[in-house]
Chain A
């Protein structure tokens, strides 16, 4: 604007605002902004301030209360002990299977469609099915007994394993579909190029495909972990909610809806969010060390 010489009319103020990207079209953002402020940011900060205003004691006493009580503090460990292995298993199992299925083959759509079913059904229904299927008189134990693999039914429900299986059943297809779409986003001619340069399949995978896939795997792990970390219905239904599967979301729920102690419940929710974001931040930091640009495929 400084180069508008003497006697030159300055640009109209509308132009000068538009120059900075501000014009009438930005009104389109307003409803969504109002929404996100009113229903997400405000409640979040309300919860945050509430957590510093406990019903008794100083501002930090609810946090102190959580961390000083080993029964409460232990919920963090319990949640991580379920969520981390489940998310890791889901992602690691998804890689070879997706690698094998990334090409076109008959029935691919059927397989992916079947995999969406457990995600769509959700944890509540999966829990109900697992109670029937894995229970002491369910088909799974019956098969084990009939084939003489075990002498008495294996206890797989109302404990750690029930919750773990429910997370695998809903989480694995989720991880698989994500990994599959990341894989098909890598241009297959890259591997062929590596082959013409003399790389065998092992080195093609470890030197070309895997490095390009790593950022996708990190993202997949994060999303799978978020799902597993917020495990709630299955922890109650197929787990042992008073003992080994008393996850942190359950502790928060009980504080809010059984003790009606909202400040304490908010404090637990904040701790929960913090722990989760720390894990995600670590994974994303590791992710940023890989190449994250275009992978040349159709993805």
Chain B
């Protein structure tokens, strides 16, 4: 299949019944990129992937491979490879036949089919299992077969739909490295769907965060990690502390917000005026516990729940004004302890609050304010 230099999704939309699953996705994929589509379940990421694959018809929009429109082509004529969440191996074919399937469909000469199949088998280290049926393999081995099957015919684009979600934690880490290694060594272009932000951050060159069928942010792992575009993305990227409060002063890209009577200084993302509602986002690991005396963003709190997590403890504490704080610390703390908290203003992000900030997990912080 012909390689491309650019793949362009132009306003791709998909509705199921009256329900919009994906709304106007615009995305340009450069050859050789690793793109992760990231979002909670039901955000439209799998819909986007299936539209790209040709397994779902579009409700609106078009897909272009360089100057060729491809969204009208059936999946078998797009020349993309795909790895499914459930692996979807052909249960009646051996590992070898599964991997060779795509080459057979392309009617390559026998000798070449054999050679390239062997190569792919070596690549995923399944030499000892070529004559087995998929049912005789472990989950990790099945996943390797699925990956080999999708890449063996050197597709111009590889689509992966949560390929690691059926594996246990240890295997997931191993396969993650494996996938990145294959992407680099074969020079693939990959679109990878996942709901696991850590997986997406570690694998992708570029992330696309979706929520309710709409793109929230497109950016590098670093951008996503340090500067989520809105509080929903922040929520999804691990900013567990989301506090609602009124904006006090705005000074350039700094602003003070007052959730539950605390006065917190942070970096503004987006535009804010004094007096409007804002959402403050902080990662649990960015909250310092009992550090050197600090005047900015200091709070005192009582520890309520502690979870042991290896080197660190994860804890919930409540400040004297009733604000619930998620934090991580290496200090040994126990429920009932009084602790001093501080937050570096650079690590405290301030977002404009939208309508949905009234509900959700913000409700209890907001309720405490009133």
Contacts and interface: CB of A to CB of B under 8 A. Distances in A.
28 contacts: A1-B59, A3-B20, A3-B23, A3-B24, A4-B11, A4-B61, A5-B11, A8-B60, A8-B61, A9-B10, A9-B61, A9-B62, A10-B60, A11-B13, A11-B57, A11-B58, A11-B60, A11-B62, A11-B71, A12-B58, A12-B71, A14-B57, A14-B72, A15-B71, A15-B72, A18-B57, A19-B57, A19-B59
A8 B71 contact: no
Contact of A1 (B10, B60, B62): B60
A100 B57 CA distance: 53
Interface in B218-245: none
Interface in A202-236: none
Contacts of B60: 1, 3-4, 8-11
Given A1-B59, A4-B61, A12 B23 contact: no
Contacts of B24: 3, 5, 8
Interface string A11-43: 110111011000000000000000000000000
B13 A3 contact: yes
Looking at chain A's contact residues, is the secondary structure mostly helix, strand, loop, or mixed? loop
A11 B59 contact: yes
Interface of B: 10-11, 13, 15, 20, 23-24, 57-62, 71-72
A3 B23 CA distance: 9
A187 B71 CA distance: 47
Interface in A107-147: none
Top 10 A-B pairs, shortest CB-CB distance: A18-B57, A15-B57, A4-B60, A8-B11, A9-B62, A12-B72, A11-B58, A11-B60, A15-B58, A19-B57
A19 B14 CA distance: 9
Contacts of A18: 57
A1 B12 CA distance: 11
Contacts of B58: 11-12, 15
Given A3-B20, A9-B60, A12-B62, 4 more contacts: A3-B13, A5-B24, A11-B13, A12-B58
B7 to A, nearest CB: 16
Interface string A86-123: 00000000000000000000000000000000000000
Contacts of A11: 13, 57-62, 71
Contacts of A3: 13, 20, 23-24, 60
Contacts of B72: 12, 14-15
A256 B23 CA distance: 65
B108 to A, nearest CB: 27
Contacts of A9: 10-11, 60-62
Contacts, number: 48
A125 to B, nearest CB: 40
B287 to A, nearest CB: 42
Interface string A229-266: 00000000000000000000000000000000000000
Contacts of A14: 57, 72
A9 B23 CA distance: 14
A5 to B, nearest CB: 7
Contact of B13 (A4, A12, A16): A4
Nearest to A13: B72
B24 to A, nearest CB: 7
Nearest to B72: A12
B25 to A, nearest CB: 12
Nearest to A12: B72
A130 to B, nearest CB: 48
Nearest to B64: A9
Nearest to B10: A9
A29 to B, nearest CB: 19
A15 B10 contact: no
Contacts of A5: 11, 24
Which of A5, A18, A19 counts the most B-chain CB atoms under 10 A from its CB?
A19
Contacts of A16: 57
A3 B58 CA distance: 13
Which of A8, A10, A18 counts the most B-chain CB atoms under 10 A from its CB?
A8
Contacts of A12: 58, 62, 71-72
A283 B173 CA distance: 59
Nearest to A9: B62
A1 to B, nearest CB: 6
Contacts of A10: 60
A24 to B, nearest CB: 9
Which of B10, B15, B24, B61 counts the most A-chain CB atoms under 10 A from its CB?
B61
A1 B11 CA distance: 11
Contact of A15 (B11, B20, B23, B59): B59
Nearest to B11: A8
Contacts of A19: 15, 57, 59
Nearest to A4: B60
A259 to B, nearest CB: 57
Interface string A137-172: 000000000000000000000000000000000000
A230 to B, nearest CB: 41
B70 to A, nearest CB: 11
Contacts of B23: 3
A9 B62 CA distance: 7
A21 to B, nearest CB: 10
Contacts of B57: 11, 14-16, 18-19
A19 B58 CA distance: 8
A5 B20 CA distance: 15
Nearest to B51: A15
A14 B10 CA distance: 17
A182 to B, nearest CB: 30
Contacts of A4: 11, 13, 60-61
